[in-house]
Amino acid sequence: MPVRAVIFDLDETLIHSKIDFKKMKERVIAFLEKVGVTRGLLNTNMLNMEITSLAVEDLRRKGFPEGEIRLILSKAEEIMNRTELESVNEASPIEGAQETLKALKERGLKIGVMTRSCHEYAEKTLTKFGLRAYVDAISARDDVEEPKPNPRHAYHMMRLLGVKACEAVFVGDHWLDGLCAKEAGLKFILILRRNIDLKKLEGCDYRVAGSIKEVARMV
């Protein structure tokens, strides 16, 4: 079945992010420990999703009601949102991003952006660099209950675009993007920007691009 949509990750795929993740994690961990998570359980070397998952497990073991846990997670997400928004002015566009989106749109393809950042951050950065006009839909961390790599995030993105997995390609720069693509049944294009263990992409239908400039001809 022909491709009808291309879904892009945001940070380090379309834009160079300046989010201070260490500061974000320090703020979130300090808050979680303040509200009852065991001190020393969490650290800044963990992925954000690991921090959240361990915090929830710890709070449940301690008997916190589910409603209270949801409220705690909501406040932790507000901290993450604030840290992301603080970085908008420092972000910069990735060379070739606008040209790639333009080329894909001229072929009649739908464009989606799926990100673990918050929706407001995505809107602001895409608009700032002239990319928003090419994007049909955004699915951000705060638009779903379980963000990528959970495949439900990809399902939400595909519903917004009105396409099936066999009609879409996901483009990202992280092995977690590949995991999301694999679990959702999406083809994946990895933009090779960092040292990445390709073994983590085993079982994923993927190809490698040296830069975003190569994506249009690969779709």
Q: In this predicted model, what pLDDT tens digit does every residue of 99-151 receive, in sequence order?
A: 999 999 999 999 999 999 999 999 999 999 999 999 999 999 999 999 999 99
Residues 114 and 129 in one domain: yes
C-alpha span between 81 and 68 (Å, rounded):
20
- For residue 46, what pLDDT is reported? 96
∠ CA 92-196-47, nearest 5°, is: 75
Which domain-ending residue is among 40, 59, 86? 86
Q: Are residues 61 and 149 in the same domain?
A: no
Residue 128 shares a structural domain with residue 48: no
Q: What is the pLDDT of residues 74-97, one digit of tens each?
A: 999 999 999 999 999 999 999 999
User: What would the pLDDT profile of 177-217 be if each residue is shown by its tens digit?
Assistant: 999 999 999 999 999 976 787 888 888 889 999 999 999 99
Domain of 124, CATH number, reads 3.40.50.1000
| Residues 147 and 50 placed together within one structural domain of the fold | no
Residues 101 and 164 in one domain: yes
What's residue 201's pLDDT?
87
DSSP-assigned states of every residue in 68-131: HHHHHHHHHHHHHHHHHHHTGGG-EEPTTHHHHHHHHHHTT-EEEEE-SS-HHHHHHHHHHTT-
Six-digit token string for 101: 């989106």
Whether the model pTM is above 0.85: yes
Residues 185 and 133 placed together within one structural domain of the fold:
yes
In this structure, the answer to whether residues 148 and 198 fall within a common structural domain is yes
DSSP 173-185: SSHHHHHHHHHHT
pLDDT at 202: 86
Print the domain residue range for 200.
Answer: 5-17+91-218
Quick check: 1 pLDDT over 90?
no
Q: Which DSSP state fits 4?
A: -
Count the domains in the chain.
2
Would you say residue 71 has pLDDT above 90?
A: yes
